[in-house]
Structure 1
Amino acid sequence: MMIIDLEFSTLLICLVPFLFIFFINLFHSKSTKIPKSYPIIGSYFSILANKHRRIQWSSDIIQTTTNLTFTLIRPFGNRQIFTANPSNVQYMLKTHFHIYQKGHMFKSTMADFLGDGIFNVDGEIWKYQRQVASHEFNTKSLRKFIETVVDAELNERLIPLLAVAASEKKVVDLQDILQRFAFDNICKIAFGYDPAYLSPSLPQEKFAVAFEEAVKLSSERFNAIFPFLWKIKRHFDFGSEKRFRIAVDEVRQFAKQLVREKQSELNQKSSLDSVDLLSRFLSVGHRDDDFVTDVVISFILAGRDTTSAALTWFFWLISEHPVVESSILNEIKLKSHTPVYEEVKEMIYTHASLCESMRFYPPVPIDSKTATEDNVLPDGTFVKKGTRVSYHPYAMGRAEELWGSDWNKFKPERWLDKDEVTGNWNFVTKDMYTYPVFQAGPRICLGKEMAFLQMKRVVAGVLRRFKVVPVTEKGVEPVFISYLTAKMKGGFHVTIEERDHE
């Protein structure tokens, strides 16, 4: 017993310096200064203290720097550079695109889930998928198909569900509803498959639940302070890694089954009349199950949470800004007798409001690349080969240097210019490297137009008939969290009110 007590006392004495550092860092955990680094452990305690607000924390630090860039020292000397400097972003995403790649760390972390899908590869594999996808996204038939899918989901599921909520005066989680709406849409567009996730009973559809679990756990992998820990858990198949394996298996097996069924369906047809992305990839000769599954899973990931995240924060912001909501309503009324595609195209003020909302709450708040060689960024920051460099749309949207002293005001007008002759608004496009919400350069989002079409149709369809009223106290900002995409912590609980129609 005495030996055990002695060993415990010795261990406690050894831990005292680290415990002292830990409590000092906890005391200063809200500091926005670049965190102090220590031998071996780097800025571990600061990272740990801010683990659940890492996006806000890193953004706050960026705002205190002179060049909107800082370097975080992780344990064992690993470095991660964070930047909100548009010159650096353009350098990474365009002019030196060949140097800043997804890299081994990202690919190995996401490989189980995304395989060789477009969002997890570099080089020729990426280039080929990009070319095929780019061609398909630019076809009129796909655009028309997307429009039809979105309108059907809106009019047959979303609007009736909100009407019931309004008549019964019940509280609903609008974030969950919008995620279900987006999931149904993207599955129809990607697979030609309808999971009916937005059915009135709000079912726990297996594929959707497994996909959600896979996204959450892969995000935990990606943001792990000590990556070797999840690798050990994966090797021994326990804990979160066991849950991750089960979720990924569920997703991939279901996706492969859909691929095989679609192949069989196409083999029995003399001509292509299906316009979903899976049919299009199969029809041009891509018959490898794994390859096609990887491609389609990547597109579901891209379309599933991004639009729903953007809309969730948009509806909260306009509830806080009734003047903006009123202007959007006026625009909707003016376009109410316009054909669907023209209506969406002409909703200039709504478009500006969505852009302004995503400035504050980008669906992908941070994105990373890995340097494939030693390099120096335009602001003078040295980048060693293998270093992860993260550009930070969330911080960029809050930078006074980029948006002026009124950066903290929700102001759609900053995206608009009024024609002095007609009095109409014209949309003013911002530099994509100052506003990289849809990425920029060669990897710029192919689904940008599809996303705006979907979002504006939802905004017009919902606001034309309903008022969305948050049940939280007015002026209290919901907590922003991020997995691979942005979320509102705890959901977005609202009541739905029918508008009085003139």
Structure 2
Amino acid sequence: METLLLFFGIVSAVSAYAFWFYLLARRLTGPKVWPIVGSLPFLFMNRQRIHDWIASNLRATGGACTYQTCTLCLPFLARKQGFFTVTCHPKNIEHILRTRFDNYPKGPQWQEAFHDLLGEGIFNSDGETWLIQRKTAALEFTTRTLRQAMARWVNRTIKNRLWCILDKAAKENRAVDLQDLLLRLTFDNICGLTFGKDPETLSPELPENRFAVAFDTATEATLYRFLYPSFQWRLGKFLEIGTEKTLKQSLEIVDNYMNDAVAARKENPSDDLLSRFMKKRDVNGDLFPTSVLQRIALNFVLAGRDTSSVALSWFFWLVMNQPEIEKKIISEISSVLRETRGDNKQKWHEEPLDFDEADRLVYLKAALAETLRLYPSAPEDFKYVIQDDVLPDGTFVPTGSTVTYSIYSVGRMKTIWGEDCMEFKPERWLSPEGDKFEAPKDGYMFVAFNAGPRTCLGKDLAYLQMKSVASAVLLRYRLSLVPGHRVEQKMSLTLFMKNGLRVYMHPRALA
């Protein structure tokens, strides 16, 4: 009798689950889901091409540009932690980033995973903690002194380091990993701008810097926390094994370096961002403690280093495959320099373009924006849903679930950018006369620099740095890809090239 009751109990439970799963699966619009494991198998199979996989799922929805999936098909979890809404619909993005901004914070999952690395810095905080840092940073980023400081760091690094390394490689006909050089360049620049300390990773010997290596390792280890179930990394942290052990060791190096940087600035304040934040006060009216200042500085390093260098890597790869576009860029740079430095081409090479000269490069800015449309440095972003909501396209999103807006997919949707959306076409960013940069009228068609209250404060500085570096390289060299080198994406929250960008440098003869 007991066996029979157990049998009927199991059958009833399985039947109830099957019916529940049927009701759940029939309203999901994304990749196919399986009982219990949901869409995790497809996510795992496509982990090496995750951004293109997401884009293909969104294209499959036609003009909807939104799909919903479930990674863990279990009651309760399926409505919260396992439930994902993925969209690239501009109206939905505007709703998330501006209209209902307060309903879509970073959320507890994200903050917990990134807390050890980023603490309560501006990129890992919400509410009042975020707002006071945002207001403080906004005041600093609008000052001309910060722009001048950035220009000094960028131009000095180009002239004294980057050109020396590239000239030597060109003379020896030796390939360089341009992505690595750019990462080193932007890392040195942002460290100088943030806490006035130059790690000098971009030197002819390409030295290994303990802080830079530890920072990279910590960033990657933190990413794994977000990709896998939280219990897995919590257990690893408790046992101090695997990536969690690596993260702990890396953070010790990072913390020691940042302790020294904060101590140095307290003794000798300067015009860097850290010195400026040391004078500010938190939500309680107190000066920021050393531990918070460390994380504030690290947040700026993370934002200012990877985004510009990765964007430039994809830019150079696109341009070297489009000679007509490269020709237009060179022509524009030459035209500006002819006006500012005269006809003597030797003077064009004596100094990198200053920021005022770079400001005038309209076509180059269009080419960089077009690069970011196709290869945004941060291809996906994730938001937590505080309260039940309905997106503008009619999609219901439940409390506790996650909304992902795919910046990578936005630029690859014909319904948003037209039939030629996959073409690298800087002209789409220019006025009909071709003399002015014009962003789309719908600002949420392009959110490579975020949008709404969290719009990137360093957007203008990023463009100026990228234009200065791009012109410094292209005016002196023609690039060619090393035969057999494969350019492909790395699985990361930042769109790195998995194998770097191996190129040969060929001296350019200006007409």
TM-score in same-fold range (> 0.5)? yes
Query: After the TM superposition, which of the residue ranges 42-51 and 383-392 deviates more from structure 2?
Result: 42-51
Residue-by-residue CA offset, 1:382-436 (whole Å, 9 max, x unaligned): 11111110111100010001110111111100111233xxxx5211112321111
Q: 1:428 and 2:438 equivalent? A: yes
Please point out which of 22, 36, 42 is paired with 1:40. Answer: 36
> Could you list the per-position Cα deviations for residues 194-213 of structure 1 after superposition, in whole angstroms to 9, with x for gaps in the alignment?
00000100011000000110
Structure 1 runs (4+) deviating above 4 angstroms are none
Shift of 1:251: 1.1
Aligned residue number for residue 240 of structure 1: 243
RMSD (CA atoms): 1.4
Identify the residue that residue 347 of structure 2 maps to in structure 1: none
2:210 aligned with 1:206: yes
Within a 5 Å distance, the mapping from 1:100-499 to structure 2 comes to: 100-224=104-228, 226-266=229-269, 274-284=270-280, 286-337=287-338, 338=340, 340-419=354-433, 425-430=435-440, 431-472=442-483, 478-499=487-508
Alpha-carbon distance in 2 for matches of 1:416, 1:164: 37
How far has the Cα of 1:341 moved from its partner?
2.5
Deviations 1:235-279 (A, max 9, x none): 11101110011112211221122101211223xxxxxxx211011
CA distance in 2, matches of 1:489, 1:300: 21
Equivalent residue number for residue 18 of structure 1? none
Give the match's secondary structure for 1:187: helix
| Deviation at residue 287 of structure 1 after TM alignment | 4.3
The question of whether the paired residues in 1 share the 8 Å contact of 2:136 and 2:280 is answered with no
Alignment check: 8 A CA contact 2:486 2:499 kept? no
Contact 2:88 2:410 (8 Å CA) reproduced: yes
Name the structure 2 match of 1:68: 65
Retained in 2: the 8 A contact 1:365–1:486?
yes
Q: Percent identity?
A: 38
Amino acid at match of 1:436: V
What is the CA–CA distance in structure 2 between the aligned matches of 1:382 and 1:130, rounded to whole Å?
31
Distance 2:367 2:427 in 1: 8
Q: Which amino acid aligns with 1:57?
A: W
Worse overlay, 107-116 or 242-251? 242-251
CA distance in 2, matches of 1:428, 1:48: 40
CA distance in 2, matches of 1:295, 1:151: 25
Q: How big is each residue's C-alpha offset from its partner over 1:110-152, in whole Å with a ceiling of 9 and x where there is no partner?
A: 0010000000010000000000000000011111111111110
Give the superposition deviation at 1:345: 1.1
Contact residue 365 and residue 482 of structure 1 kept, 8 A: no
Q: Which moved more, 1:426-435 or 1:168-177?
A: 426-435
CA contact (8 A) 1:478 1:489 kept: yes
Q: TM-score, normalised by structure 2?
A: 0.87
Letter of the 1:73 counterpart: C
Name the counterpart of 1:271.
none
Mean CA deviation greater in 186-195 or 275-284: 275-284
CA deviations 1:444-489 (Å, max 9, x no partner) are 000101100100000111111111111145xx97212242211111
Residue 453 of structure 1 aligns to which amino acid in structure 2?
A: L
Match of 2:12 in 1: none
Once the two structures are overlaid, the 10-residue window that deviates more, 315-324 or 274-283, is: 274-283
Cα deviation for residue 34 of structure 1 reads 2.9
SS in 2 for 1:417: coil
Q: For residue 99 of structure 1, what is the aligned residue in structure 2?
A: 103
**1-structure distance, mates of 2:293, 2:264:** 13
* Structure 2 counterpart of 1:65, one-letter code: T
- Give the TM-score normalised by the residue count of structure 1: 0.89
Quick check: 1:215–1:483 contact (8 Å CA) kept in 2? no
SS for the counterpart of 1:72 is: strand
The one-letter code matched in structure 2 to 1:488 is M
In structure 2, give the amino acid aligned to 1:427: F
Structure 2: gaps of 5 or more residues: 1-28, 282-286, 341-352
Alpha-carbon distance, 1:336 to partner: 1.3
Q: Cα distance, 1:375 vs. partner?
A: 0.8
Q: Does structure 1 conserve the Cα–Cα contact (< 8 Å) formed by 2:329 and 2:364?
A: yes
Q: Which runs of 5+ in 1 are unaligned?
A: 1-32, 267-273
